Amino acid sequence: MSKFRSVKDIPDDEYVAPGSSLCAGCGSEIIARHMLKVLGKDTIFVNVPGCYAISTLFPFTAVKVPFVFAVFGSGAAVAQGIKDGLDILKEKRGINNERVNYKVVVYVGDGAAYDIGFQSTSAAIHRNLDFYFVCYDNEAYGNTGFQLSGATPYASRTSTSEPLGGSVGNVYRKKDIFEIWRAHRAPYIATISVSHITDMLNKFEKAKQFKGPKLFVALSICPTGWGASEEETVRIARLAVETGMWPLKEAVYGEVKHTFIPRRLKPVEEYLKTQRRFRHLFHPVRREEDIKKIQEEVESYWKRVWETELSK
């Protein structure tokens, strides 16, 4: 039975202070806040350069648990060192205060998860490190001005993939980090969205039972980079789920199960039209082929899901 069934079940505990210096409407703050409500105060928070780094600028910190800042590619390696260091203090030196039993969570953007930090993350998963790795995926290098990353979806405008001279914007496909992680056979992997808060909370709660890497990727709406209204964050995230562009799922030891299966998909353009980064698909002329390409990819994904999971 799920622990969190409605918003009334959201814990009152707050480990992220209000009024941080993040952009209004930033998805990463909503995710961090709710993640820590479930993981609790006994958590060490490892962060790297990226949007969320703005939450903790000397002499202020918005995070009320121990916060360690690592270089861009080293989030998972630092988690390894902290976890191992605390473990050996316990085992060898007999230190047994509550701190040595803290959980370690690495909280990074898509640049650090998909690109520059991929090697260290893959290795930490391979070593079966007992940690949480949570990617707030805003689908570009948001903190540096929204440049293309390995997580940028097809046709997105970024500051290094401008739709100029007939270009479609980003010509590459988004990396499937869920499947890449799944190939590592991690105990628990999940996708989450700020629009489905109880789904998110239940997944963090469920992950607690597993020893080893617990991996999350969250669609993180970026109002400034995406060109969207800040009050629309949750609505856009919901459209991403309902159009099928951001499937909500989990994998336990590699077994995939979707936690939300839309019976009918809303057309992708309902989602695309909410954001200026896709505006060139509709103005000045409608790029029918490209919209169709995105729609077809989503449909072929869900066709497989409907066939396998609904028939069970």
Partner 1 sequence: MKSRKGMMLTGNATAAWGARVCDVDYIAAYPITPQSEIVELLSKWVTSGEMKAKFVEYESEHSMLAGAGAASLAGARAFTATSSQGLAYAFENLFAVSGWRAPMVMVNVSRGIGMPMTLQVDNTDVFSARDTGWIQLHAETCQEILDFIILAYRLGEDRRVLLPVIVNMDGFFLSFTREPVYIPSMEEVSEFLPPYEPPHGIAFSSEELAYAPTIILGHSYSYFKYQMHLSALKAKEVFYEIAREFGDLFGRYYGPIEKYMMDDADYAIVSMNSFTSIIKGAVHRLREEGYKVGVLKINMFRPFPNEEVAEALKGVKGVAVFDLNLSPGAGGIIYPELLRALYHVDERPKVVLDFVGGLGGKELTYGEIRFMVRKVAEALRDGGVSPYATLLFTEEDTRKMIADMEIAGKKWGGFR
Task: Please pick, from the candidates 23, 29, 32, 73, the single residue that binds partner 1 as defined by CB under 8 A.
Answer: 73
**Burial of 275 from C-beta contacts in 10 A (0-12 / 13-18 / 19+):** buried
d(CA 141, CA 151): 9
Alpha-carbon torsion angle 87, 36, 17, 78, nearest 10: 40
Distance of CA 2 to the CA centre of its chain: 21
Locus of tokens 């980064």: 277
Q: Which stretch binds partner 1 (CB under 8 A): 77-85, 133-141, 194-202, 213-221?
A: 77-85
Phi then psi for residue 32, to 5 deg, are: -60, -45
Task: Please pick, from the candidates 7, 12, 92, 300, the single residue that binds partner 1 as defined by CB under 8 A.
Answer: 92
Distance of CA 249 to the CA centre of its chain: 13
Task: Please pick, from the candidates 74, 195, 243, 295, the single residue that binds partner 1 as defined by CB under 8 A.
Answer: 74
Q: CA angle 87-35-190, nearest 5°?
A: 90
Of 77 and 251, which has the nearer Cβ to partner 1? 77
14 binds partner 1 (CB under 8 A): no
103 binds partner 1 (CB under 8 A): no
Q: Which stretch binds partner 1 (CB under 8 A): 1-9, 117-125, 186-194, 298-306?
A: 117-125
- Beta bridge partners of residue 215, listed in sequence order: 133, 189
Ranges within 26-65 binding partner 1 (CB under 8 A): 44, 49, 53-54, 56-61, 63-65
71 binds partner 1 (CB under 8 A): yes
Identity of the residue numbered 87: D
Cβ proximity of 64 and 17 under 8 Å: yes
13 binds partner 1 (CB under 8 A): no
User: Minimum distance from CB of 75 to partner 1 (Å)?
Assistant: 9
Of 87 and 309, which has the nearer Cβ to partner 1? 87
Task: Please pick, from the candidates 126, 257, 286, 303, the single residue that binds partner 1 as defined by CB under 8 A.
Answer: 126
3-state secondary structure (DSSP) of residue 203: helix
DSSP code for 51: G
84 binds partner 1 (CB under 8 A): yes
The residue ranges that bind partner 1 (CB under 8 A) are: 44, 49, 53-54, 56-61, 63-71, 73-74, 76-82, 84-89, 91-93, 95, 97, 99-100, 102, 119-120, 122-123, 126-127
